[in-house]
Amino acid sequence: MKALSKEQIIEALNHDLIAELSAVEMYEAHAKVIPADVIVQGVRAILSVEEGHAQELTKRIEELGGEPALPGGVATIAGRAVGAASAQARTVEMLKLELGEEQQAIKDYSAQIADIVDDEDTVRLLEKHLQDEMEHARWLKAQIPAQEERG
């Protein structure tokens, strides 16, 4: 078992923060171009939760004495680029890309929860985020078959 040190926890939280900021950029780009209102509403709801995750991670990193990654940094720009490029795709392709992001977040949060031994506040935060990401993935998985039928 490898328990994470405080520095490693801060590093892991910054990794999560960068992923959340990137996801926010991608969801914003997709919400602007998806034609189906019901899908846009779902994407915007996920976007709102991801923004909250970024805020909570920023706060926790600061509480631990770390320096949080900032919006507009490399990861955010990468998310914006992915969002812009994928916004040219069909809705189903955007949903599949979003699902991939959620699945990676589930893996990352799960591994961190397993490796953090002596920081219950961070574990609780990550468990909450993990639950949200699983709900997002479930919703996205439900939308993809209907979109695939539309062609």
**Domain residue spans of the chain:** 6-150
In whole angstroms, give the CA distance from residue 32 to residue 29: 5
Q: For residue 21, give both structure tokens.
A: 């900021």
With the CA atoms of 76, 77, 78 and 79 taken in that order, what torsion angle do they form, in degrees rounded to the nearest 10? 50
pLDDT at 30: 93
Q: Which amino acid is at 145?
A: P
pLDDT tops 80 at residue 75: no
Residue 10: burial class (beta carbons within 10 Å; 0-12, 13-18, 19+): buried
**Entry pTM:** 0.92
Beta carbons within 8 Å of 150's beta carbon, 6+ residues apart: 91, 92
pLDDT band at 86 (very low <50, low <70, confident <90, very high): confident
Domain 6-150, CATH: 1.20.1260.10
Q: What is the overall mean pLDDT for the chain?
A: 92
For 1, residues 6+ apart whose C-beta sits below 8 A from its C-beta are 115, 117
